[in-house]
Amino acid sequence: MPRATIIITEHDMSRLKSLLQAVKTGNSTNQEHLKKLDEELAQAKVVDPKLVPGDVVTMNSKVRFKDLEEGSDHVYSLVFPAEADTGKSRLSILAPIGAALLGYRVGDIIEWPIPSGTKSLRIEEIIYQPEAAGDMDL
């Protein structure tokens, strides 16, 4: 399956590059999903936040996706690590599933490495996207 080019806002790209650089210098365990995120960021289409399509998962977006193996739906907000709290449905960008969602569009099917293998997800809906809502400073 050909990979789609992800779309990232300039603001998110800047913050994510700094975050990934900090993680690389730390002592980390399984980092396959972070390497893939770094590769995707290197090939991403970077856009002004005002020009990002409303069906793209950006940082702080609330997204509904389907786990295609389990058939289950999940709703999470994609956040930076300091704001992550799975009990409040806030998924870190550094978590394998969080890294998988960023930059993809509604309808996209994503194959992403996780510690136990590969996960297949389909983005079903963007419930909230900061840029579409005019919240450009999140």
Number of domains the chain contains: 1
Q: Which helix (H) or strand (E) holds 20?
A: helix 10-25
Return the half-sphere exposure (C-beta side, CA atoms, 13 A cut-off) of residue 61: 31
Specify if 2 maps to a domain.
no
Which residue segment(s) compose the domain that 33 sits in?
A: 7-128
pLDDT in tens, 78-125: 999 999 999 999 999 988 899 889 999 999 999 988 888 888 999 999
* Range among 13-22, 38-47, 57-66 with highest mean pLDDT value: 57-66
pTM (2 decimals)?
0.88
Please give the Cα distance from 29 to 128 (Å, whole number).
32
pLDDT band at 51 (very low <50, low <70, confident <90, very high): very high
Specify if 87 maps to a domain.
yes
**Under 8 Å CB-to-CB from 111, ≥6 apart: which residues?**
1, 118, 119, 120
CATH number of 87's domain: 3.10.50.30
Specify if 57 maps to a domain.
yes
- In this structure, the number of other CB atoms found within 10 A of the CB of residue 132 comes to 16
Token pair, residue 108, equals 């996209």
